[in-house]
C-alpha cells in the first residue's frame, strides 16, 4: 500500500542547506504489513532528500483497521508536507480529525509521529534520545516474562531469567482447574493471538486468588529478596477482589501488580489504595493522557504503561510522562512481542532520556522478526542499551518483509464457568 507525489525522491539540489524545507518534503508514504511469526504494520515516510523514517502501527488483532486508517485517511494528508513539522502534524491528525482518541486513531498517529522523529534524527545525525534531551541513564532496566503450568515450573522459569542476568522478572503460573490461564504459553514463546477467530478460555477468580499469593511466596523462598518480581492480573478482578489480592501479595514486595481491575473506571483504584501498599501499574490499553488523568492526579498508580505505539507517539507520551512526573508516577512501558522492534527502539530511546523512568517490559522477538527489523539495541546485564545510530535505530528489510504475508489472528476471549463473557 503506498501514496506518492509524482516527483520521486531526488538528491538535494546544489546550494540547498542540509535539511531544507524542500529536502524535508514528504514525497512517499508506504504502509507495510508483514507477518514474520506474527503480524506487524509499519509506516515508512520518505522525504525528497531520500531520508526515510519508520513508525510502528501494530494493534494486535486489529492490524488492518490501522493499516486502512493510515492508507485511506492519513497518507493523502502527508504527501507534500514538511517532515520537520512534527508537532503541527500531530495536532493536525488529532485535533483536525474531529473524532479524537481511540486505539486505532492513536496508533495511526503514533506511526506518523515516530516516523517523523526518526527522520529528524537522521537529518540531524543524532540518535533520538539526544533529540529528546540526552541521556539520563546508561541502560533501561527491563523485565522478562517467566511462566509455568504450575508454581514449580514458574519458579524454574524465573531461575532461568536470573541466570541470563535479568534483574526483574514478571511471573505467571497456571491456576488449578483453569485451562489456558492468562500468560501461560502452549509453545516456547508466549503469543496470545494464536488463531483466526478468538480462542475461548474459561476463568475462575476464586481459584486464581488462592494461587497467586502461593506463587510469590514460593518465588521469594526460591530466589530471595533481591530480584524484582512483577505480576499481571490482566484486568480480571473486581475492585474489591483487586484490593484483597494487592493486600495478600504485600509480604512478597512486588515491583508492581499490573492491571488488577479494568481501569475505564479510574475511581476503582481508590479502593485498592485504601487497602494496600503494593505498587500498581496500569495503562497498556490506554491511548491518551485523558485515560489516566485521574489515576495520576490522585496518585492511585505508581507506574504508567502507555507506550509510544498505542499512545499517539513520542509527542503525546512525552506529555504524559511529564505530567506523571509531577506526581512521582514513573514509566513502565508495555513491551510485549506484539509491539514491533520499531516501537521497542523508540521506547528505549525514550527510556534512556525520560527522568521519571521506572522499568521497560521486554520479551524476545522471534529470529524472523529480528531479521525483518534490524536494530542496534542490545541487552547487557539486565538492561537494554540503545546505540548511537541516528533516529531510533530500527530499520525494515522490505524485501524480507514481503516474504511473510499477513495472516489474520485475534486475541482470545474469556468466559466464566457459567458461560458469561469476562475480561480476557
Ligand atoms: C503484557 C500484556 C500483553 C498483552 C498483549 C495484548 O503485559 O505484556 O498484558 O501480553 O496481553 O500485548 O496484545
Ligand atoms: Mg499487561
Tens digit of each residue's pLDDT, the chain (424 residues): 666 665 444 444 444 455 799 999 999 999 999 999 999 999 999 999 999 999 999 999 999 999 999 999 999 999 999 999 999 999 999 999 999 999 999 999 999 999 999 999 999 999 999 999 999 999 999 999 999 999 999 999 999 999 999 999 999 999 998 888 888 876 666 788 989 999 999 999 999 999 999 999 999 999 999 999 999 999 999 999 999 999 999 999 999 999 999 999 999 999 999 999 999 999 999 999 999 999 999 999 999 999 999 999 999 999 999 999 999 999 999 999 999 999 999 999 999 999 999 999 999 999 999 999 999 999 999 999 999 999 999 999 999 999 999 999 999 999 999 999 999 9
**Annotation says 182 is catalytic:** yes
Instruction: Estimate the crossing angle of helix 239-248 against helix 268-275, to 10 degrees.
Output: 30
**Annotation says 377 is catalytic:** no
The residue nearest atom 1 of ligand 1, judged by CA position, is: 336
The residue nearest atom 6 of ligand 1, judged by CA position, is: 60
Which atom of ligand 1 is least distant from the CA of 339? Answer: 12
Q: 0.85 exceeded by the pTM?
A: yes
Query: If you measure from the C-alpha of residue 305 to the centroid of ligand 2, how many angstroms do you get, rounded to a whole number?
Result: 8
Query: If you measure from the C-alpha of residue 89 to the centroid of ligand 1, how many angstroms do you get, rounded to a whole number?
Result: 29
Point out which residues pair with 227 in neighbouring strands.
none
Which atom of ligand 1 is least distant from the CA of 335? Answer: 8
Q: What are phi and psi of 241, to 5 degrees?
A: -65, -40
Q: Read off the DSSP letter of residue 250.
A: G
Of the residues 52, 143, 182, 377, only one is catalytic, namely: 182
Q: Is 107 helix (H, G, I), strand (E, B) or coil?
A: helix
The residues lining ligand 1, judged by C-beta closer than 6 Å to any ligand atom, are 60, 192, 232, 234, 284, 336, 338, 361, 411
Please name each of the domains of the chain with its CATH number. Answer: 2-126 (3.30.390.10), 132-422 (3.20.20.120)
Ligand minimally distant from the alpha carbon of residue 58: 1
**Residue 70 CB contacts under 8 Å (≥ 6 apart), including other chains:** 29, 31, 41, 43, 57, 108, 111, 112
The residue nearest atom 13 of ligand 1, judged by CA position, is: 60
Q: Is 131 helix (H, G, I), strand (E, B) or coil?
A: helix
How far apart CA 313 and CA 244 sit, in angstroms, is 35
Query: If you measure from the C-alpha of residue 182 to the centroid of ligand 2, how many angstroms do you get, rounded to a whole number?
Result: 10
Amino acid at each position: 500500500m503506498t501514496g506518492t507525489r509524482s516527483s520521486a525522491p531526488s538528491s538535494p539540489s546544489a546550494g540547498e542547506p542540509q535539511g531544507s524545507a524542500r529536502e524535508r518534503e514528504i514525497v512517499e508514504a508506504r504502509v507495510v504489513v508483514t507477518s514474520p511469526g506474527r503480524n506487524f504494520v509499519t509506516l515508512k515516510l520518505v522525504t525528497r532528500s531520500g531520508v526515510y523514517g519508520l513508525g510502528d502501527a501494530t494493534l494486535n488483532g486489529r492490524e488492518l483497521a490501522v493499516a486502512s486508517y493510515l492508507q485511506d485517511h492519513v497518507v493523502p494528508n502527508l504527501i507534500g508536507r514538511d517532515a520537520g513539522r512534527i508537532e503541527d502534524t500531530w495536532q493536525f491528525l488529532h485535533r483536525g480529525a474531529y473524532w479524537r482518541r481511540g486505539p486505532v486513531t492513536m496508533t495511526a498517529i503514533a506511526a506518523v509521529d515516530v516516523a517523523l522523529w526518526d527522520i529528524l534524527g537522521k537529518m540531524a545525525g543524532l540518535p533520538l534520545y539526544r533529540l529528546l534531551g540526552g541521556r539520563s541513564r546508561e541502560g533501561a532496566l527491563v523485565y522478562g516474562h517467566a511462566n509455568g503450568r504450575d508454581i514449580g515450573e514458574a519458579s524454574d522459569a524465573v531461575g532461568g531469567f536470573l541466570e541470563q542476568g535479568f534483574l526483574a522478572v514478571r511471573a505467571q503460573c497456571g491456576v488449578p482447574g483453569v485451562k489456558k490461564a492468562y500468560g501461560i504459553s502452549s509453545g516456547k514463546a508466549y503469543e496470545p493471538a494464536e488463531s483466526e477467530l478468538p480462542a475461548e478460555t474459561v476463568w475462575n477468580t476464586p481459584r486464581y486468588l488462592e494461587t497467586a499469593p502461593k506463587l510469590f511466596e514460593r518465588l521469594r523462598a526460591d530466589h530471595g529478596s533481591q530480584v524484582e518480581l512483577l505480576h499481571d492480573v490482566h484486568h480480571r478482578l473486581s475492585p474489591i477482589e483487586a484490593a484483597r489480592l494487592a493486600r495478600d501479595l504485600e509480604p512478597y514486595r512486588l515491583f508492581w501488580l499490573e492491571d488488577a481491575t479494568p481501569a475505564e473506571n479510574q475511581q476503582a483504584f481508590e479502593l485498592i489504595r485504601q487497602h494496600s501498599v503494593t505498587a500498581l501499574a496500569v495503562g497498556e490499553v490506554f491511548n491518551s493522557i485523558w485515560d489516566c488523568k485521574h489515576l495520576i492526579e490522585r496518585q492511585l498508580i505508581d507506574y504508567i504503561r502507555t507506550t509510544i505505539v498505542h499512545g499517539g507517539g513520542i509527542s503525546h507520551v512525552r506529555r504524559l510522562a511529564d505530567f506523571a512526573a509531577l506526581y512521582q508516577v514513573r514509566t513502565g512501558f508495555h513491551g510485549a512481542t506484539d509491539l514491533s522492534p520499531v516501537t521497542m527502539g523508540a521506547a528505549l530511546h525514550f527510556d534512556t532520556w525520560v527522568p521519571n523512568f521506572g522499568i521497560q517490559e521486554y520479551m524476545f522477538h522471534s529470529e524472523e522478526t529480528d531479521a525483518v527489523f534490524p536494530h542496534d539495541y542490545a541487552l547487557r546485564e539486565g538492561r537494554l542499551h540503545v546505540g548511537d545510530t541516528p533516529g531510533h535505530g530500527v530499520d525494515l528489510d522490505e524485501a524480507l518483509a514481503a516474504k511473510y504475508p499477513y495472516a489474520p489472528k485475534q486475541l482470545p476471549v474469556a468466559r466464566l464457568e457459567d458461560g458469561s463473557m469476562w475480561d480476557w
